[in-house]
Structures are given as structure tokens and as C-alpha cells.
Amino acid sequence: QVQLVESGGGLVQAGGSLRLSCAASGSIFSFDVMSWHRQVPGKERELVALISRDGSTNYADFVKGRFTISRDNAKNTVNLQMNSLKPEDTAVYYCRAIRGLAGLVDWGQGTQVTVSS
């Protein structure tokens, strides 16, 4: 088991920015894929962005051009820089890590992001 702890959530005005961080036990490079997801009550959890071990990234269409996923090697975190936030970005954001041949999955507890209009 690994521990993933998200931070950086909060309340921000539409058009503003927020940076989320995911701190992992052990090295973030022990994971094949790390990703950010979000969920609104009553809806399915959806992928926001991911970063692979080799540094390649992918984004959901609804955040492309606004969000950036990155690694901070010095702090051993995976971050999500969110710019031009919209009210529809309001959700609980979760960090996910995938590792090993079997694709073991670990989730953080989530951090609330609220964007006011």
C-alpha cells in the first residue's frame, strides 16, 4: 500500500488559478502512471490529466489548454496547475497512482475545489 495525500484545494473565483499537489509515500517514479481525477456527487469520477513515468502527459478535452500536470522532483509531488478556472470545474479532485504489472491502483482522499462565479 502507498499513501497519496492531496493538498491545495480551496475556493477560487472564476478565471483564477489554483495548484493542487499530490504527495506520495516513496518515490513518485515508482509509479507507472500518476493522474488527477475529479468527481461531483451523483456523477462518475472522470480523468482530468495524467503523467507517465517517461514524463508524457495527457489531458481531458475539457481542461486542455487550461490545466498542466507536472512532477516536482525536489518535493516528490505530482502537481496540477489549474488556470482559467470555471464554475464547472468545481469538484473533489483525487490523485491516483498505478504501479506494477498487475496495475495496482491507489487513490488519495481527495481535495475540494470550488470555483465561484
Model confidence pLDDT, tens digit, residues 37-46:
999 999 999 9
| Per-residue pLDDT, 2 | 87
Average pLDDT (59-67) is 96
**C-alpha–C-alpha distance, residues 113 and 36, integer Å:** 13
Tell me the average pLDDT across 91-111.
95
Range 55-80 average pLDDT: 96
Angle (CA) 107-40-5 rounded to 5° is 25
Strand, helix or coil for residue 5: strand
In contact, 17 and 82? CB cutoff 8 Å: yes
Q: How many CA atoms lie within 13 A of 14 on its CB side?
A: 5
Phi, psi of 74, deg, nearest 5: -65, -35
Query: Is a pLDDT exceeding 80 seen at residue 87?
Result: yes
Give the model's pLDDT for residue 1.
74
Mean pLDDT of the chain: 96
Q: What pLDDT was estimated at residue 42?
A: 96
pLDDT above 90 (res 12): yes
pLDDT at 7: 97
C-alpha distances out from residue 76 to 13, 16, 22, 72, Å = 29, 26, 9, 6
Contact 88, 99 (CB under 8 A): no
Average pLDDT over residues 29-35: 94
